[in-house]
Amino acid sequence: MLTSKSRHTFNTLLDSVALKSDDDTQDAIVYVATGQEPIHVSRRAFREFVTAYAVGLRAMGIGPQDLVIIAHTQNLESVYAFWGAMLIGAVPSMFTTLTEKLDPDIYMRNMAELVDLSAVRAVLTTDEFAPILAAQVSCPVYGSQQLADIVANADIDGFGERFKSLTAAVASLSTAVSSKTAFLQHSSGTTGLQKGVALAHDAVLNQLAAYSDALALTAQDVVVSWLPLYHDMGLIAGFLLPLVQGIPLVLMSPFDWVSHPVLLLNAIQAHSGTLCWLPNFAYNHCARRIRRRDLAGVSLATMRLFINCSEPVRHDSHELFLERFASLGVKREMLGVSYAMAENTFAVTQTVPGEAVKLDTVDRFALETDLVARPLPQDDPQATVKVSCGSPIAGTAVRVLDKNNQILPERHVGELAVQSNCMLTEYYRRCDLDPFHAGWYLTGDMGYVVDGEVYVVGRSKDLIINAGKNVYPQDIEAIINTVPGVHAGRAVVFGVPDKREGTELIAVVAEVHAVDLDERKAINKKIRQEVARQSAVTVSYVQLVDAKWLVKTSSGKIARAANRDKWLLSRKRLAS
């Protein structure tokens, strides 16, 4: 297995145990779906499929360092295409799936812009949208059936020798390949052009080695994941890590999981799962949506860690999950936390496996106004509980900076900065973007450190994290400003933490011309429809107000924080 001690024996991700192990019979992947028998893909079958896709991609004219966008509905086809692209030295990137919530025209327009700016060599997508996209982008587009036909006709006679020759061709470049881009992770923005985080083989292997050590990973572990592969948590923790390490990956569609969350628990039970990564909202989703009658005979006792990641961690979400599933074998020490980001490949920190996560009870007022995490007794009415994200993994360092980029002492809140050996090479073909300061990546997240452990308290930017998605208020506001009846430039969007859902909900305040009640109802409905159509996020609150309601800065800009406070105050008054 890949560890810090064995790191020198891995040159590229193609040294993955799932691709090179002599044990052909062990499962590499088990794909599960509601109402269907699991699909077991052995290591040998995995290598055969990957090689077939590699040969097929070469037949398309795709070669080393060509960028390939994979935009399927998440399935095994996506998995084989990703690894097949890496096998021939190309650069794959999983992209957001086109769903019924998205406007096809907007999706295609954004994809066309990405193709041009990033010099995409080919796009692999669904049969339904391939011909539409092909008419709008400047690179070849392949639907699932066309790709399947090419792969089926690929010449893979003498599989063993063909596989060896492909891997040898890439490996022959040795250190030159290890420092080259292995794949891109595209930022999870909801609209507009997404940044491609370029990650080299070296960086990814450094991350997987250090993170596996932090998890105390063993050959007996089994990863169970529903996470989308276009998100860093799903791509790295729930996909690359198990395949590189040669431990079984039990994979399912995120759409299937959202509709049938018990699928995750059943998969853990059926396949003796030990590791599972979840965004905070998923704890609430499972606890509130899984019916008691569906849990008969289910045991989660094999689990080592449920790891909370990708959005701010809430103590009450952990408590809700623990209370709901304690009877199934869930224990407090199973609830871990990681602070992660695509720019650092994935994990920045990790709590200690087998130990209860540390909690810090602090003065809410001091945290918000003085930017100091001042300890308070748990029963103090001003107290709030912050959950530790753990200590930095090996090879990664975290510091807290003030507005002048000066280092702050413990318990002082500032911007978190990260430096590591698993950092991005660049934002792909975006030389205009430089997120570093003196060699440190500026995360935009606010937090503090106590006894070497990192606590994240918010974001210095206006980013909203809703159900694991990064929502940029400016993008949503741009959509709202196109809705007839809304004063152009007179809409504000902000996040509202919700205890029940365990995530941030999205609130909109917009100034409108209309005074008629029915007309306002129509505008309200149109705002919700357009945001859902163009951004794949759901608005929870819409308040339509008269002209001059919104607070602006002296320069005429909408004051987001001030309007959020005004909105919260108005709701509090209505409730009283």
Q: pLDDT (tens digit, 0 to 9) for every residue of the chain, 576 residues total?
A: 999 999 999 999 999 999 987 788 899 999 999 999 999 999 999 999 999 999 999 999 999 999 999 998 888 999 999 999 999 999 999 987 776 656 677 777 878 888 999 999 999 998 988 898 899 899 999 999 999 999 888 765 554 455 555 555 545 544 456 778 999 998 654 444 578 999 999 999 999 999 999 999 999 999 999 999 988 999 999 999 999 999 999 999 998 999 999 999 999 999 999 999 999 889 999 998 999 999 999 999 999 999 999 877 889 899 999 999 999 999 999 999 999 999 999 999 999 999 999 999 999 888 877 889 999 999 998 898 999 999 999 999 999 999 999 999 999 999 999 999 999 999 998 888 888 999 999 998 889 999 999 999 877 767 788 887 767 787 788 789 889 999 878 899 999 988 888 888 999 999 998 778 999 999 999 999 999 988 778 999 999 999 889 987 644 568 888 899 999 998 888 877
Question: For residue 292, is it within any domain?
Answer: no
Rg (CA), the chain: 24
Helices (H), 60-122: 76-87, 104-118
Cα distance between residue 576 and residue 571, in whole Å: 9
197 and 176 share one domain: yes
CATH number at residue 387: 2.30.38.10
d(CA 570, CA 557): 21
Is 121 found in the same domain as 217?
A: yes
The helix (H) or strand (E) run that includes residue 144 is helix 144-152
Hey, what are 203's tokens? Answer: 């960086």
If asked whether residues 110 and 223 sit together in one domain, one would say yes
Q: At what angle do helices 76-87 and 144-152 cross, to 10 degrees?
A: 60
Domain assignment of residue 562, yes or no: yes
452/502 same-domain check: no
Looking at residue 500, which CATH number applies to its domain? 3.30.300.30
Residues near 438 by Cβ (< 8 Å), separated by ≥ 6?
A: 405
User: Is position 479 within any domain?
Assistant: yes
Per the structure, how many domains does the chain have?
Answer: 3
Q: Residues 367, 224: one domain?
A: no
**Beta-strand (E) ranges in 110-180?**
120-125, 141-142
In a domain, 65, yes or no: yes
Euclidean distance between CA atoms 245 and 228, whole angstroms: 20
Give the Cα separation of 442 and 415 in Å (integer).
7
Same domain, 66 and 134: yes
The answer to whether residue 346 is domain-embedded is no
The reply to whether 409 and 532 lie within a common domain is no
Neighbours of 285 (CB within 10 A): 22
Domain final residue pick, 459, 485, 508: 459
Same domain flag for 13 and 44: yes
148 burial type by CB count under 10 A (0-12 exposed, 13-18 middle, 19+ buried) = middle
**Which of 232, 260, 288 finishes a domain?**
260
* CA gap 199, 406 in Å, rounded: 28
Place of tokens 């070497």: 452
Determine, yes or no, domain membership for 320.
no
Instruction: For residue 132, give its domain range.
Output: 7-260
Same domain, 436 and 569: no
